[in-house]
Amino acid sequence: MPSIRTLPLRNLLLGIIFALTACVSAPVQEMSDARQAIQAAHAAGAERVARDTLLSARALLEQAERELESGRYREARRNARGARAQAVLAREQAEKTPPQDSEGM
């Protein structure tokens, strides 16, 4: 049984190990968040008004998927977060743009 003096050190070491493990694990949540944000942008009409931003989001997600398959989790996490940010921007742009009136055509 560990002594009372070694418990804080042991807890600190366990915390550090847990933090390092979290950084190296697969970015499952980030990938899911990016996919959902892209779907929301598409549903909001971003294809019409923020096409380039939405394409950027999709490209970042595809890059993140390739990195995930290669085990490059840090890079995959970074690109998944970037994809989500671009998708959110595209959705916001789409939501600010009034729908086009198709009767005038």
Confidence (pLDDT) at 23: 57
Can you read off the two tokens belonging to residue 19?
A: 């933090």
pLDDT tens figures, 15-40: 777 666 555 689 999 999 999 999 99
Confidence (pLDDT) at 105: 45
- Angle (CA) 68-70-72 rounded to 5° is 65
